[in-house]
Amino acid sequence: MSPTRPQPRGGGREAEQAAGSDIGEVLIEPDELQARVRELAAEISRDYEDGDLLLIGVLKGAVMFLADLMRHMTVPCELDFIAVSSYGSATDSSGVVRILKDLESSIEDRDVLIVEDIIDSGLTLSYMVRNLRARSPRTLEVCALLTKPERRRVDIPIRYTGFEIPNRFVIGYGLDHEQRYRNLEYVAVLAGDAEPQPGGPPR
Ligand code: IMP
Ligand code: MG
């Protein structure tokens, strides 16, 4: 077999942007994402040195973040997934949540860390925290790659946050627009997502 030359990686910026796409301004570059994910993994590893850590990834958006985060963890940890859907419009969640795929493991007496892609209104997360707390974990904390503080409607403590971003609809690094763009290596604004006006309607 003859050696093959390395091919350009999928999800490259040029390919995506050339596709004449919805990709707007890049908010977080790949190296910034990776550096922050490493920092978070180091912080979490310190905090759970003596723990029994179970990471719960919220499908599908958290998949990229979770995979990178877990790779840099230096303490033993296990992995499970949950999938939820929020009733409501495409861009506004209602807080009424349905579990589409439940955990495989029991979380009783375990140290549970919910890993989310983005906290927007916080309604989905708040439901999830209530639901999981009823299963008696030893500890229950949240790690979110992104948060939009301006949009928050419920107050839930987020123990680990990657980046605070402005009130824009973002895609990439797991986040989708109509299921696409999750494979981008960076986080960008969805093109055409206008900056909200001060005093404008909530989004
Ligand atoms: P919340 O219940 O309003 O906090 O909704 C959170 C969920 O909405 C996230 O887990 C995402 O799946 C989705 N979401 C919120 N903002 C964005 C965004 O800017 N881009 C992509 N998905 C988003
Ligand atoms: Mg999500």
Reported as a pLDDT band with limits 50, 70 and 90, residue 203 is very low
Residues 6+ apart with CB under 8 A from 181: 16, 21, 22, 23, 171, 172, 175
C-alpha span between 179 and 5 (Å, rounded): 31
**Strand 139-147 with 160-164, pairing:** parallel
In a domain, 162, yes or no: yes
Q: Is residue 21 part of a domain?
A: no
Cα of 86 from ligand 1 centre, angstroms: 10
Residue 23 has pLDDT above 90, yes or no: yes
CA 121 / ligand 2 centre spacing (Å) = 11
Domain containing residue 49: 34-167
Residues in contact with ligand 1 (CB, 6 Å cut-off) = 61, 86, 93, 116-125, 169-170, 175
CATH code of the domain covering residue 73: 3.40.50.2020
Instruction: Find tokens 């007496």 and name the residue.
Output: 109
The reported pLDDT for the residue numbered 90 is 60
138 Cβ contact list (under 8 Å, min separation 6): 52, 109, 110, 111, 112
pLDDT at residue 93, rounded to an integer: 66
pLDDT tens readout for residues 122-169: 999 999 999 999 999 999 999 999 999 998 889 999 999 999 999 999
Catalytic residue (choose from 120, 155, 176, 193): 120
Ligand number nearest to the C-alpha of 86: 1
**Residue 83 in contact with residue 101, Cβ under 8 Å?**
yes
Question: Is residue 140 a part of any domain in this protein?
Answer: yes
Which residues, in sequence order, are CB contacts of 177 under 8 Å at separation 6+?
22, 169, 171, 190
Say if residues 69 and 41 touch (Cβ distance below 8 Å). Answer: yes
- The pLDDT of residue 192 is 84
Ligand 1 nearest atom to the CA of residue 119, by list position: 4
Residue 85 lies in a domain: yes
Whether residue 11 lies inside any domain: the answer is no
Instruction: Look at the chain and report how many structural domains it folds into.
Output: 1
120 is catalytic: yes
Nearest 5°: the CA angle 187, 102, 111 is: 75
Q: What pLDDT sits at residue 193? A: 80
What's the pLDDT tens digit per position in 159-188? 999 999 999 999 999 999 999 999 999 999
pLDDT of residue 91: 60
- Vertex 139: Cα angle to 136 and 143 (nearest 5): 120
What confidence score (pLDDT) does residue 198 get?
53
CB 72 within 8 A of CB 99: no
Ion ligand 2 neighbours (CB, 5 A) are: 61, 117
What are the pLDDT digits (tens) for 50-106? 989 999 999 999 999 999 999 999 999 999 999 998 766 666 666 678 899 999 999
CA distances from 137 to 106, 107, 141, 158, 169 (A): 9, 5, 10, 17, 33
**pLDDT attached to residue 12:** 61
